[in-house]
Amino acid sequence: MIQYDEQNQIFHLNNGEISYVIKITQELQLIDLYYGGAIDFENDFMDLLNQSNTGFSLQHPSGIPYEKMSMTYGTFGKYSLNEEAFLVKDKEGRVINDFIYSHYEISNQKTILTTLPSSYDNQKLSQTLILYLKERSNDLWIELHITIFPEKPLLTKHVQFKNKSSEIYTIDLAMSGVFSVDGEFDQVIAFNGAWIKEFTTVKNQLSNGKLSFSNYNGVSTHTYQPFLALAESSSRDNRGEVHGFALMYSGNFKASVEKNIYKQTKIQMGINPFLTSWDLKSDSIFETPEWISVYSDEGFDKMTHVFHDFFLNNVMPCYEENRLSDVLINSWEAFYFNIDEEKLVELGLEAKSLGVEVLLVDDGWFENRNDDTDGLGSWVLDRKKFPNGLKVIKEKTGLKLGLWFEPEMTHLKTDRIIGKNFSLTPSRNQFVLDFTREDLVDEVFEKVKKVISDFEIDIIKWDANRPISDLFSENLENQGELYHRYILGVYRFAKKLREHFPHLIIQSCSAGGGRANAGMLSFALSTWVSDNTDACERLRIQQAAAMFLPLRAIGSHVTASPNHQMLRETSFAFRSHVALFGTYGFELNILQLSSEEKEAMVKAISFFKRHRKLIQTGNYYKLKGNDLSTQDEYAHMVVSKDGREVIVGVFQIASKANWEGMRLPLKGLEKKAGYEIHGKVYTGSYLMRIGLHFKQVFTGVQSDIHEKIGKIGFGDRTSEVIYFKKCY
Ligand code: GLA
- Reduce the DSSP state of residue 245 to 3 states and report it: strand
User: Cis link prior to 562 (omega < 30° from 0)?
Assistant: yes
Whether 700 has a pLDDT exceeding 70, the answer reads: no
Best residue among 195, 222, 332, 507 to mutate for probing ligand 1's pocket (most ligand atoms within 8 Å of CB) is 332
Q: From ligand 1's centre to the CA of 402, what distance in Å? A: 14
Region 642-670: what's the mean pLDDT?
93
pLDDT given at position 659: 84
Best residue among 219, 509, 520 to mutate for probing ligand 1's pocket (most ligand atoms within 8 Å of CB) is 509
Q: From ligand 1's centre to the CA of 9, what distance in Å? A: 54
Computed from CA positions of residues 238, 243, 249, 250, in that sequence, does the dihedral angle turn out positive or negative? Answer: negative
Query: Relative to the CA of 362, which ligand 1 atom is closest?
Result: 10
CA dist 466 and 464 (Å) reads 6
For residue range 255-307, list pLDDT tens digits in order. 999 998 888 899 999 999 999 999 999 999 999 999 999 999 999 999 999 99
CA dist 495 and 259 (Å) reads 39
pLDDT given at position 704: 61
Whether 699 has a pLDDT exceeding 60, the answer reads: no
Of 398, 404, 402, 394, which is closest to residue 329 (Cα–Cα)? 402
Region 438-447: what's the mean pLDDT?
97
Tell me the Ramachandran region of residue 93: left when phi exceeds 0, alpha when psi lies from -120 to 50, beta otherwise.
left
**Is the separation of the CB atoms in 397 and 454 below 8 Å?**
no
For residue range 334-384, list pLDDT tens digits in order. 999 999 999 999 999 999 999 999 999 999 999 999 999 999 988 899 999
Q: What percent of the chain has pLDDT over 90?
A: 85
CB atoms near residue 624 (< 10 Å): 18
pLDDT given at position 532: 98
Stated pTM of the model? 0.97
Spot the catalytic one: 326, 434, 463, 627.
Answer: 463
Whether 526 has a pLDDT exceeding 90, the answer reads: yes
Q: Which residue has its alpha carbon closest to ligand 1 atom 2?
A: 511
pLDDT given at position 550: 98
Instruction: Tell me which residues have their CB closer than 6 angstroms to ligand 1.
Output: 332, 362-363, 404, 463, 465, 509, 511-512, 528, 531
pLDDT given at position 55: 79
Best residue among 219, 337, 465, 527 to mutate for probing ligand 1's pocket (most ligand atoms within 8 Å of CB) is 465
Which helix (H) or strand (E) covers residue 87, if one does? strand 86-89
Q: From ligand 1's centre to the CA of 563, what distance in Å? A: 16
Q: Which residue has its alpha carbon closest to ligand 1 atom 12?
A: 363
Helix axes 535-545, 572-580, angle to 10 degrees: 10
Identity of residue 391: K
Best residue among 197, 370, 463 to mutate for probing ligand 1's pocket (most ligand atoms within 8 Å of CB) is 463
Q: Is 470 a catalytic residue?
A: no
Whether 321 has a pLDDT exceeding 60, the answer reads: yes
Q: From ligand 1's centre to the CA of 250, what distance in Å? A: 18
Query: Relative to the CA of 509, which ligand 1 atom is closest?
Result: 8
Q: Which residue has its alpha carbon closest to ligand 1 atom 1?
A: 511
pLDDT grade, residue 664 (50/70/90)?
A: very high
Query: Cα torsion for 221, 223, 225, 229, to the nearest 10°?
Result: -170
Spot the catalytic one: 531, 534, 632, 716.
Answer: 531
Q: From ligand 1's centre to the CA of 405, what distance in Å? A: 10
Query: Relative to the CA of 336, which ligand 1 atom is closest?
Result: 6
Query: Relative to the CA of 404, which ligand 1 atom is closest?
Result: 10
Query: Relative to the CA of 372, which ligand 1 atom is closest?
Result: 12
Residues in a beta bridge with 371:
none
**Is the separation of the CB atoms in 600 and 576 below 8 Å?**
yes
Q: Which residue has its alpha carbon closest to ligand 1 atom 11?
A: 511
CA dist 198 and 211 (Å) reads 20
CA dist 512 and 220 (Å) reads 11
Q: Which residue has its alpha carbon closest to ligand 1 atom 7?
A: 511
Region 66-81: what's the mean pLDDT?
87
Whether 609 has a pLDDT exceeding 80, the answer reads: yes
7 CB-contact burial (10 Å; exposed 0-12 / middle 13-18 / buried 19+)? exposed
Q: How far is CA 547 from the centre of its chain?
A: 10
CA dist 508 and 489 (Å) reads 16
* b/e per residue 225-253 (b: at least 16 CB within 10 A): bbbbbbbbeebebebbbbbbbbbbbbbbb
508 CB-contact burial (10 Å; exposed 0-12 / middle 13-18 / buried 19+)? buried
Q: From ligand 1's centre to the CA of 333, what distance in Å? A: 9
Identity of residue 14: N
- Reduce the DSSP state of residue 317 to 3 states and report it: coil
pLDDT given at position 131: 98
Region 69-93: what's the mean pLDDT?
90
Q: Which residues contact 701 (CB under 8 A, 6 or more apart)?
A: none
Whether 146 has a pLDDT exceeding 60, the answer reads: yes
Strands 127-135 and 140-148: antiparallel
Strands 70-71 and 30-37: antiparallel
Which helix (H) or strand (E) covers residue 489, if one does? helix 482-500
Strands 140-148 and 278-280: unpaired
pLDDT given at position 628: 60
For residue range 669-684, list pLDDT tens digits in order. 999 999 999 999 999 9
Region 506-512: what's the mean pLDDT?
96
Question: How does the average pLDDT of the chain come out, rounded?
Answer: 94
Q: Which residue has its alpha carbon closest to ligand 1 atom 6?
A: 363
For residue range 529-555, list pLDDT tens digits in order. 999 999 999 999 999 999 999 999 999
List the end-to-end C-alpha distance of the chain, in Å, as a whole number: 37
Best residue among 220, 362, 374, 411 to mutate for probing ligand 1's pocket (most ligand atoms within 8 Å of CB) is 362
H-state helical runs in 261-418: 299-310, 332-335, 341-354, 391-397
Q: From ligand 1's centre to the CA of 513, what distance in Å? A: 10
For residue range 212-246, list pLDDT tens digits in order. 999 999 976 899 999 999 999 899 999 999 999 99
Whether 630 has a pLDDT exceeding 60, the answer reads: no
Q: From ligand 1's centre to the CA of 205, what distance in Å? A: 36
Q: Is 531 a catalytic residue?
A: yes
pLDDT grade, residue 65 (50/70/90)?
A: confident
pLDDT given at position 541: 96
Q: From ligand 1's centre to the CA of 428, what distance in Å? A: 11
Q: Which residues contact 239 (CB under 8 A, 6 or more apart)?
A: 298, 299
Q: What percent of the chain has pLDDT over 70?
A: 97
Measured CA to CA in angstroms, residue 668 lies from 38, 449, 644 at distances of 23, 45, 11
pLDDT given at position 255: 97
pLDDT given at position 263: 86
Q: What is the CA radius of gyration of the chain?
A: 27
Region 503-528: what's the mean pLDDT?
96
